[in-house]
Structure formats: C-alpha cells, structure tokens
A and B are shown apart, each in its own frame.
Chain A
Amino acid sequence: MDEIPNLPLRHPLQYQTQKKLNYNDPDKTIYEKANFYVDNKYQIVNMLGKGSYGTVCSAVNLKSKGNPSLAIKKVCNIFNKEVLLKRAIRELKLMAFFKGHKNIINLVDLDIVYIKPYDGLYCFQELVEYDLAKVIHSSVQFSEYHIQCFTYQILCGLKYIHSADVIHRDLKPGNILVTSQGVLKICDFGLARGINEKFMKFTHRPPEITHYVATRWYRAPELILSRKNYGKPVDMWAVGCILGELYGRRPLFVGDNQIHQVSEICKVIGNPPRKVALGYESAAAWDFFCNSRPKFLKKDWSSLFPHANPHARELLSKLVCWDSSARLTVELSLESPFFSKVRSIDEEPVAREPFDFSFEWRVGSIEGLKEYLHDQVELFRDQMRETPRKI
C-alpha cells in the first residue's frame, strides 16, 4: 500500500482509515493468539490450523440461538500480493456460487479487515468434526458401504463443481471434511478456477494456467510432466487416488519430489504408453521415459487391494490412468456399478450456469482488485440478509 501514495483514495482505503479511527470498535473483539479481529458476537474457541494461506479458528456465535459453532478462516497477506488477493477473490466467489450443495462446505458470512496485523479476508463457515485424512488414517471402521458412500459423495460434489466448468485442482483427503454422521463436504477453493470459454478473454495465446497446483501425492501426471493445457481430468485422478487410499488406508503414491512422484506412479500403473509419453511434449517426460531408467510393469489392482469390490478396482483403473482423455469423467464415474447400491439421481444436481470468472482479467490493478473484493464481500452479506425475490 506504500507504493501508491499519490493515487486518490479509493474506497477500501477510505474504509481502512475509518476503521483505524474505530480501532477500539466496541462491536469487535480481538483474539491475539491468531491475530483475529472479528465481530464480538463471535467467541474464538481455539486455533484449528495454520498454513501459507492463513489461519483457521473455531468459534461460537453467542448471539444466535443455541450458540452454534463455526469455523473462521482468515486468508492473510492478500493486500500486498496480487496472487493471494486473486486467490482470495476466487475462493470467495466460488464458495458463494456453490453454496447450498450438501457435499460442499457452506459459507455463512464474510468480513474484511484492513488493520494490521489482523488484516485479511474472514470466511465464516460451518464447522465440521473431521477431515477425510483423519478418518482414513485412524482406526475408523470401514465397510464397503462406507467407501461407496464416501466416494459417491465426493463425486456428487465434484459433479456440481465440474458442471459449472470449474476445476478444483486441490482435491485430497485433507480438503474433504467429514461430519460424524458421514456426510462429506469439499472445501478449500483457493486453487480452483473456472474454465468456461465464454468467460475467457479473447487472446491469441492460450490462457495462462499454472501447473504448480495440487498437493504432490494427488497431482495428476499431466500436471507434473506436461506444460500443455489440462482440465477436469486432473480432479478425476485425485478422486482415483482417494478411492485407492480408502481401501489401502494410506496414500497411493507418496513421492518426495516431482520425479519420485512419477516413479511411484509407474511402480503401480506401469510406464505410460509411448503415445501418452510423447504427448506430454516436454523434455522432462522425454528424459524420464526414454532414457535408460527402469521400465515398470502395471501391477494388478487385485493384488494391491484384495478386499476391494471388483467394480471398485475397475473404477480405480479407469481413474488412475495415464491418458487423461481416456480417464472417466465425473458423470461416467457415477455410472459405475460400484455405486448401484448407494446411488440416487436426486443427489446429483448440476449448477444452474457456468461460473463467471471474467473478473480475473476484467479487473486489472491491485487497487481495482481490492475494491472488487470489498464489493463482493458487501454483496454476499447483503444477499444473505435479504428476502429472496422470485422472477
């Protein structure tokens, strides 16, 4: 903010000045341990987690009947890094867009604070007891029904997301929350993005899209080995990895680095067909598959997961496969006979329209983005309080 002293004050900055005056705002409360500055109807209970993106705390709403618990996620550093600011806007817009689906985390309220060190975007969400990583890696008793239901719910949430032409790009057990009653909710849309062409800027070069997404163990091979465009199949790879983890109770491919990750994949599903390896059109892929490195043969899924339903193994082999164009789509995965006992068409709605991400290029400067974020927060808050009008 120091770099732009001569620009006329735009409203987020004005807001900041206002707030500075109200530093001792009687309606706000401070939680020093996590540098949280929130409405005093919330009482922070404890810190749940901290990462590069920010901090999550659990809290109770003292003013709502029954004092409900909720999770508050504070996204930090958004006002000095454009990437993080964009990421915060994306996350906010996607969570608001997908609100109301049973298998997607429910955003309840938003706030934005400009005073350091409390500055950031505050997302108020429902609090869920577990995440899938905790569930898989503890001694929770599974049955085939548990695995069917969990995978089915991930696919239902993902169908809704993909139907809006959005890819999540960071699906992993840690980003899937689980209630004690076994309801799964996909969360963390920080890396998600829209891919509907309608909202892309018309340029001659393909839209830039970073390849450094997804946690390594769940990263699809085309993300590691190719610089070409990728799409929804990267999420389907991750779903396959999660299905394998549900049966094996440990991550399927545990690579210490990118190269190791690829060799771990090869150990299980064998080397890629020549056509796929050449299709990556990258030196990395060429080095890896055409040099004198050991060739791996495909292992039999039934030797890895002898207790798995044959339909589950078939689904797994069609998700965890090299050729992203041959990988099952979310719709085709739902058709798998593995889900015939748990499936209900009513659980598989689609989004009403594709997600509009044109703000990514429409709003240019960091100042413009700040203003946009501020407006989006206000918009969401107003909408939530409003009585809906039907057309």
Chain B
Amino acid sequence: MEWILALIDSIVAFFLTVFKFTPKFIPGVIATMELTFFSILLGTVIGFIVAMLKLTNKKVIIKITDFYITIVRGTPLLLQLSFIFYGLPSLGIEIDRFPSAVIGLAFHNGAYISEIFRGAIESIDYGQKEAARSLGMTKWQSMKRVILPQAFKRSIPALGNQFIIAVKDSSLASVITITEIMLLTRQYGAATFEIFPIYFIAGSYYLAITMVLSKLLRKLELKLKVNER
C-alpha cells in the first residue's frame, strides 16, 4: 500500500515541477530558435556560395574550399565554438556571445550544406545543361534557370536533415554561456536536483521544435513535387 502512495507522490511531484518549470524555459526556447534560425540562414548562404565556388573548377579556389570543409568536418563543433569565443580574442578579434555562436554554427552548417548543394547540382542530368547551353544560355543563366531549381528541390530532404541537426547542435552554444534551452536545463537541474522532470521538459521542447520543422520541410517537399510523376 505504501509503495503506491510513494509512487503517486513522486508522480505528483514530477508534474508539479513540470508545470512550474515549463514556462521558465520560454526565454531559452526563444534563444534556441533564434540561434537555429540565424545559423541555418547564414549557413545556407555560406553553403551555397561554397558550392558555387567549388563548381568553378579553379584549382586555388577548390583548395581553399576543401580546406574549409576539412577543418569543419575534422574538428568538434564544441571546439570550434570555444575557439571563436575564447580563442579569437587573443588575435584581437572579439565577437559578442550571440554573434560568436551564430557564426560558429553557421560555419559548421555551411560546410555540410555546401556538400549537399554540390551533390544535388552534380546529380542533375548533364543533358539539362547541354539543352540550356544549346539554346544560347550563358553558364550563369543555365545554372539559375535550369540547374538550380531542380537541384534545390532534390536537396530538400538532405537539407532538412541538416537543419534538424542544426537545432540540436545549437545546444552546444551553452558552452559560451548563451542562455538557450541546454544552459537553462543545467542551471535549473543544479538548483532543484529535480533532474528527471527538468531534462524531460528540455527534451520535449527540442522534440517539438524538430518535429514542427520536419513537418514544414515535408510540406515544402510535397509542394515542389507536383510536376513529377
């Protein structure tokens, strides 16, 4: 009998903590979403530019872009973020907390996104380029009007995957003391010792964000698919 009461007690305590702390996460959720939004946006721009540079087939440019991708892929994001915020000031470059996090995450995402774009562009049938060029289009016109619209559509599933990774990776910004979900989780956890409900809330928020995001991307994908059989 007693163990049932104890169980009910702990369930009640769990929900009390959840109800109490769920709203307290809101500022962190907003920070996570801001971080994710800007790092995805900037990362996509970087990824696009790097993919375009890589397709120029100029040796020097390819060396530079390969160097960038190697660095990003070959070192931990945690290290990259710390390096930008704690390391760069010794070179005289001081960047605020939030921009540091956005730049670090965007550079990271950009490397992966550039590979996604490059793969998608290279997957477009060569005949498409030939048809465009044989009409008299310039290289850029055929890229813009024929290749990129098709490549973009083809890259959405992989891009969506990367965006979801970006949401979760933003949690690493807590190491440079950005008050996002993960940092709040640790603070509330340490203050209350209610680890289980606090981490439960944090997980639920991340899950909600990633689920909404993948729903949206799925919708976009279907919308762009109308002209395919």
Is this pair of chains taken from one and the same complex? no
